[in-house]
Amino acid sequence: MTRSLVTPVLVVGGGPVGLVLAMCLARHGVEVLVAEMRHRGEPPSVKCNHVSARSMEIFRQLGVAARVRDSGLPAAHCHDVAYRTTTTGVELARIMIPCRRDRFSDTHGPDGHWPTPEPPHRINQLYLEPVLASCAQAMPKLRIANRLQVLDVAQDDHGVTAEARDLGTGERVQIRCQFLIGCDGGSSLVRKKIGATLSGTDFIGRTQSTFIRAPDLLKWLKHPPAWATFSVNPRRCGNVYAIDGVERWLVHNYLRHDEADFDAVDRDRAIRQILGVGSEFRYEVLGQEDWIARRLLADRFRNRRIFICGDAAHIWVPMAGYGMNAGIADAENLAWLLAAHLHGWAPEGILDAYERERLPITEQVSRFAMDHALALQRQREAVPPDIEAETPQGEAARAAAGRALYELNVQQYCCAGLNFGYHYDDSPLIAYDAERAPAYTMASYTPSSVPGCRTPHVWLRDGRSLYDALAAESPTYSLLRFDPRVDVAPLLDAAHRRRMPLALLDVDVPDAAALYGHALVISRPDRHVAWRGAAAPIQPLNLIDRLRGAVGPSPSAGPRFSGPSLH
Ligand SMILES: Cc1cc2nc3c(=O)[nH]c(=O)nc-3n(C[C@H](O)[C@H](O)[C@H](O)COP(=O)(O)OP(=O)(O)OC[C@H]3O[C@@H](n4cnc5c(N)ncnc54)[C@H](O)[C@@H]3O)c2cc1C
Expressed in percent and rounded to 5, the helix, strand and coil fractions of the chain are: 30, 25, 45
Which of 24, 33, 48 has most ligand 1 atoms within 8 Å of CB, for mutation?
48
For ligand 1, atom 31, name the residue with the nearest CA. Answer: 15
pLDDT tens for 458-516 read 999 999 999 999 977 789 999 999 999 999 999 999 999 999 999 999 999 999 999 99
Q: Quick one: average pLDDT of 107-122?
A: 96
Residues with CB under 6 A from ligand 1: 12-18, 35-38, 47-50, 125, 149-150, 183-185, 189, 209, 291, 310-311, 318, 321-325, 327
pLDDT tens for 298-318 read 999 999 999 999 999 999 988
pLDDT tens for 440-467 read 999 999 999 999 999 999 999 999 999 9
For ligand 1, atom 6, name the residue with the nearest CA. Answer: 48
Judge whether residue 112 has pLDDT over 60: yes
pLDDT classification of 553: cutoffs 50, 70, 90 = low
532-546: b (≥16 Cβ within 10 Å) or e: bbeebbeebbebbbb
**Residue 148 CA, closest ligand 1 atom number:** 43
Distance 296 CA to ligand 1 centre (A): 15
For ligand 1, atom 53, name the residue with the nearest CA. Answer: 47
Q: pLDDT value at position 566?
A: 27
Distance 123 CA to ligand 1 centre (A): 15
DSSP, collapsed to helix, strand or coil, labels residue 312 as helix
Q: pLDDT value at position 260?
A: 86
Q: pLDDT value at position 552?
A: 66
Q: How many helices (H) and strands (E) does the chain have?
A: 15, 23
Mean pLDDT over each residue of the chain, to the nearest integer:
95
Q: pLDDT value at position 559?
A: 32
- Cα–Cα distance for residue pair 251/19, rounded to 1 Å: 27
Dihedral angle over CA of 189, 192, 193, 195, nearest 10:
160
pLDDT classification of 422: cutoffs 50, 70, 90 = very high
For ligand 1, atom 18, name the residue with the nearest CA. Answer: 324
Tell which phi-psi region holds residue 321, choosing left (phi > 0), alpha (psi between -120 and 50) or beta.
Answer: left
Which residue, 514, 188, 549, is CA-closest to 341?
A: 549
- Cα–Cα distance for residue pair 266/258, rounded to 1 Å: 14
Query: Which residues face 249 on adjacent strands?
Result: 212, 242
pLDDT tens for 364-415 read 999 999 999 999 999 999 999 999 999 999 999 999 999 999 999 999 999 9
Strand 477-481 to strand 520-523: parallel, antiparallel, or no bridges (unpaired)?
A: antiparallel
pTM of the model: 0.96
Q: pLDDT value at position 1?
A: 78
Q: pLDDT value at position 564?
A: 29
Judge whether residue 560 has pLDDT over 70: no
- Cα–Cα distance for residue pair 462/441, rounded to 1 Å: 33
Q: Quick one: average pLDDT of 510-528?
A: 97
Which of 24, 324, 365 has most ligand 1 atoms within 8 Å of CB, for mutation?
324
Let me know: does 225 contact 240? Beta carbons within 8 Å.
no
Distance 15 CA to ligand 1 centre (A): 6
Judge whether residue 554 has pLDDT over 90: no
Q: pLDDT value at position 322?
A: 85
pLDDT classification of 88: cutoffs 50, 70, 90 = very high
Judge whether residue 557 has pLDDT over 70: no
Residue 295 half-sphere exposure toward CB, CA atoms < 13 A: 17
For ligand 1, atom 14, name the residue with the nearest CA. Answer: 48
DSSP, collapsed to helix, strand or coil, labels residue 299 as coil
Q: pLDDT value at position 13?
A: 98
**Residue 50 CA, closest ligand 1 atom number:** 8
Which of 122, 311, 368, 414 has most ligand 1 atoms within 8 Å of CB, for mutation?
311
Least confident of 360-369, 522-531, 552-561: 552-561
Judge whether residue 563 has pLDDT over 70: no
Distance 16 CA to ligand 1 centre (A): 7
Let me know: does 154 contact 161? Beta carbons within 8 Å.
yes
For ligand 1, atom 21, name the residue with the nearest CA. Answer: 324
Distance 38 CA to ligand 1 centre (A): 13
For ligand 1, atom 9, name the residue with the nearest CA. Answer: 321
Q: Quick one: average pLDDT of 184-201?
A: 97
Q: Kindly give the interhelix angle for 540-547 and 489-497, rounded to the nearest 10 degrees.
A: 50
For ligand 1, atom 11, name the residue with the nearest CA. Answer: 324
CA angle 344, 349, 354 (to 5 degrees): 105
Distance 51 CA to ligand 1 centre (A): 13
Q: Quick one: average pLDDT of 524-553?
A: 95
DSSP one-letter string for 218-270: HHH-SS---SEEEE--SS--EEEEESSSSSEEEEEEE--TT--SGGGS-HHHH
**Residue 311 CA, closest ligand 1 atom number:** 26
**Residue 250 CA, closest ligand 1 atom number:** 1
Let me know: does 478 contact 505? Beta carbons within 8 Å.
yes
